[in-house]
Amino acid sequence: MLVVFAFVSLLSLCYSFKFPFERRGDHVGHAGGFPGPHITGLAIHDPSIIKVGGSYYAYGVGPHISIFRSPSLDGPWQQVGTVLDGPSIIKKGDNTAPWAPTVVQHGDTFYCYYSVSQAGCRDSAIGVATSKKPGPGGWVDHGLIVQSGNGEGGKVHPFDKSNTIDPHVFIDGNKGYLTFGSYWTGVWQVPLAADLKSVLNPKHPDARNLVYEPKPLDGGGASPNPLCRDETGSHPVEGATISFRDGWYYLWYSHGRCCELDPNALPATENLYNIRVGRSRSPQGPFVDRNGVDLVKGGGTIVYASNGPVIAPGGQGVLTDGDTDILYYHYLDSRKGLGFWDAQLGYNPLKYENGWPVAV
């Protein structure tokens, strides 16, 4: 009875909301206190979505950064090519399959920020490619913006203590801010130069630590390589992005474990990937949660988490489509598989209660 009531209530919310889409995907209420995702049929990891004209473009992890296109968020999605024609020009990590791309448009130019790394190590780098169109063909790889670990600039603060992956660029007027970071000391941000392809004042960047999890989830590994372990333990925050609505800047991030999960030994629900948020009047923070706790001190309001067959949602972004903000993310479906490549694209429109986003 409770599930039926939640389902009817959810449908009422959805139909009272203005959707700018051609059609809605399957969307059902799930146990766990969160609405189920709109199902899109797209297998993708770490999605980045933009809308250009009447088409949606999704960029994700894959050889040379995969590009998908669809007339609707609900699909049908078709892979139309890749951003890069070959490996990144950055000679580091797995440069044939850059991670966690973020694509933004500024003026008549599209910027694709990406990361290369060795999994579990902070010997990483962030690069950028640009194009005059969102689809494949015409992308120019400009290579390195910042790096941590080995190489030039890796000893400059905060790159000496962070992991330069999971890039996101937020453009506020004519100012760009690069937000990045995974585990170790959490999420950081540095301003970009006007070209959006380099850091402003690279030897002394105006760096801000925006998110940190003070309580380690478990040990930080025992690798003999100091770049591949964290003696303070494992601090699972990553994948941060920024959105803006009604005078507030919202910082979204993923918290907990994701990827290659063992269905017979899942972490506790609170330790699985979930999507959290804080807000600020400035794109540079500080960001606080609904209780006023700074995200650097372990704050963070959970907006979306595992529910029903939906496991470990994260790798999120926010797309403003018309008057509606849409939270999108990848998630695992326990009925289909919990491996890295089993990740699916899901989304939920957002409503705002007293200035705080709620997935519907």
User: pLDDT tens across 83-109, in order?
Assistant: 999 999 999 999 999 999 999 999 999
22 counts as catalytic: no
**8 Å CB contact between 178 and 206:** no
- Tokens found for residue 55: 């088409």
What's the pLDDT tens digit per position in 137-185? 999 999 999 999 999 999 999 999 999 999 999 999 999 999 999 999 9
238 counts as catalytic: yes
Q: How large a percentage of the chain has pLDDT more than 90?
A: 85
**Residue 259 binned pLDDT confidence (cut-offs 50, 70, 90):** confident
Return the pLDDT at 40.
98
What's the pLDDT tens digit per position in 308-331? 999 999 999 999 999 999 999 999
Pick from 316, 311, 299, 357: which is nearest to 337 by CA? 311
d(CA 157, CA 75): 43
Q: Which of 74, 238, 294, 342 is catalytic?
A: 238
Return the pLDDT at 103.
98
Query: What domains can you pick out in the chain, each with its CATH number?
Result: 41-359 (2.115.10.20)
What's the pLDDT tens digit per position in 18-70? 333 322 333 344 445 899 999 999 999 999 999 999 999 999 999 999 999 99
β-bridge partners, 286 = none
CA-derived radius of gyration, the chain: 19
Helices (H), the chain: 2-16
DSSP letter, residue 257:
B
d(CA 213, CA 285): 16
